[in-house]
Amino acid sequence: MGIQVVEAVSAAADRIREQAPRNEAAGKLTGEAAAALRECGVIRMLQPREHGGMEAHPREFAEAVLAIAALDGSTGWVAGIVGVHPWEMALADPALQQAIWGPDQDTWIASPYAPMGVARPVDGGYFFSGRWQFSSGTDHCDWIFLGGRVAEPDGTLPEAPEHLHLVLPRADYEIVEDSWDVVGLRGTGSKDIVVADAFVPAQRVIPFRKLVDGTAAREAGLANPTYHVPFSCAFPLGITAAVVGIAEGALEHHLAYQRGRTQITGTRIKDDPYALTAIGEAAAEISASRTALLDNASRMYDLVAAGHEVTFERRAIGRREQVQAAWRAVRAVDEIVARSGGNAMRSDNPMQRFWRDAHMGLAHAIHAPGAVLHASALGQLGLQPPPGPLRNMI
């Protein structure tokens, strides 16, 4: 399955690549770029088979995202983020799945998960309001996952509110135009979302704690180990794969650019041992990032397939591997860009777009290293981090 998707991406490579500057100019994926993603099948890789999905191995999904992001960062980013949402929807109420995919199995679901909304409990569900940033690919989606905090019935927030993921149809939220003006990943169309007192029935709500501890997958009775991989592995996987794929694309453009280049000193790159050493080191670092990311996904899958619990310590180590993969790859991109000369930064050279996209992807909250590295080190020392920020997204 995964091989077929990667082969479809390869067949559509020129089509995806040529949309890159158009995506950036439009501030979102063009219709042609979105159509290419649909036809490649990457968004359905983690979707349940009963709704036309593939239930693919997480590693295969990451490999497909890597391939797309190497062609265009924005298209790969949308594939990585929107492509994870069917994984979570597989854990949701079957009636909700039918409502979304029954009419069209290619329906896309947006996010963000950040708990920026307030959910006030009422009979049968919640009244929900808030504003969120960074809803990638949202113009091409008809439903959305939004993070919220549970308020008291009078609307006030308790000191430690429960976090929820709430699912809303397109009619219940507003996409804020002109809210995505950034230096990188411009083509992702990661716009703001506004919800004003929408009613969300309880059947369209997933408690975040049940995602983190695996309860949601067990309660759904899912047999495929893909759905028992921890949320803290599955959700960041597509994002980090996009960043590493962008780095691979940057390296590919760097090699093509340097192959026949002569420096201002008159030295050809192929005769400059220092430039060649930098290329070799960067290529090795980017390759190591790919290997670490894919190996971590496979290890998590193998653990749950064997019936083992993925402990907090192991999850923290997994997050460490994801975060470091992204940082390692982007540092390598910086090394080769710094040796590409001023012409690499011209608007007509794709390398500058890959460089900007890589840094924008690294700025995502899941790639913040401090708490993740701190928590993983405590775990390896046999110590448990205290409740609070060190446990976020682990």
Q: So what's the pLDDT on residue 73?
A: 98
Do 63 and 134 lie in a common domain? no
Q: Where among 75, 101, 127 does a domain terminate? A: 101
Do 115 and 261 lie in a common domain? no
Do 273 and 382 lie in a common domain? yes
Confidence of residue 139 (pLDDT cuts 50, 70, 90): very high
Q: How large is the average pLDDT for residues 112-123?
A: 97
Reported as a single tens digit per residue, the pLDDT across 50-78 is 999 999 999 999 999 999 999 999 999 99
Reported as a single tens digit per residue, the pLDDT across 80-105 is 999 999 999 999 999 999 999 999 99
User: Phi and psi (nearest 5°) for 172?
Assistant: -100, 5
Q: Where among 101, 131, 151 does a domain terminate? A: 101
Instruction: Tell me which residue range forms the domain holding 306.
Output: 229-391
Reported as a single tens digit per residue, the pLDDT across 198-213 is 999 999 999 999 999 9
Confidence of residue 388 (pLDDT cuts 50, 70, 90): confident
Reported as a single tens digit per residue, the pLDDT across 335-349 is 999 999 999 999 999
pTM of the model: 0.97
Do 283 and 387 lie in a common domain? yes
Q: So what's the pLDDT on residue 392?
A: 85
Q: So what's the pLDDT on residue 101?
A: 98
Q: What is the Cα–Cα distance from 10 to 244, expressed in whole angstroms? A: 17
Q: Where among 101, 129, 162 does a domain terminate? A: 101
Reported as a single tens digit per residue, the pLDDT across 19-44 is 999 999 999 999 999 999 999 999 99
**CATH label of the domain that carries residue 162:** 2.40.110.10
Q: What is the Cα–Cα distance from 216 to 63, expressed in whole angstroms? A: 26
Residue 370 is assigned to a structural domain of this protein: yes
Q: So what's the pLDDT on residue 230?
A: 96
CA angle 298, 300, 302 (to 5 degrees): 65
Residues of the chain with pLDDT > 90, as a percent, come to 93
- The conformation of residue 157, written as its DSSP 8-state character, comes to P
- Nearest Cα residue to 319 out of 386, 380, 249: 380
Q: So what's the pLDDT on residue 261?
A: 93
Q: What is the Cα–Cα distance from 33 to 19, expressed in whole angstroms? A: 6
Reported as a single tens digit per residue, the pLDDT across 297-341 is 999 999 999 999 999 999 999 999 999 999 999 999 999 999 999
- Nearest Cα residue to 332 out of 284, 274, 293: 284
Confidence of residue 130 (pLDDT cuts 50, 70, 90): very high
Q: What is the Cα–Cα distance from 280 to 262, expressed in whole angstroms? A: 19
- H or E element, residue 122: strand 117-122
Give how many domains the chain has, as a whole number. 3
Q: What is the Cα–Cα distance from 249 to 269, expressed in whole angstroms? A: 20
Contact 1, 45 (CB under 8 A): yes
Q: So what's the pLDDT on residue 146?
A: 98
Do 248 and 277 lie in a common domain? yes
Is the model's pLDDT at 125 over the cut of 90?
yes
Q: So what's the pLDDT on residue 235?
A: 96
Q: What is the mean pLDDT of the chain?
A: 96
Q: So what's the pLDDT on residue 223?
A: 96
Do 113 and 243 lie in a common domain? no
Q: So what's the pLDDT on residue 389?
A: 85
Q: What is the Cα–Cα distance from 43 to 35, expressed in whole angstroms? A: 11
Is the model's pLDDT at 2 over the cut of 80?
no
- H or E element, residue 377: helix 369-380
Is the model's pLDDT at 1 over the cut of 80?
no
Reported as a single tens digit per residue, the pLDDT across 223-273 is 999 999 999 999 999 999 999 999 999 999 999 999 999 998 999 999 999
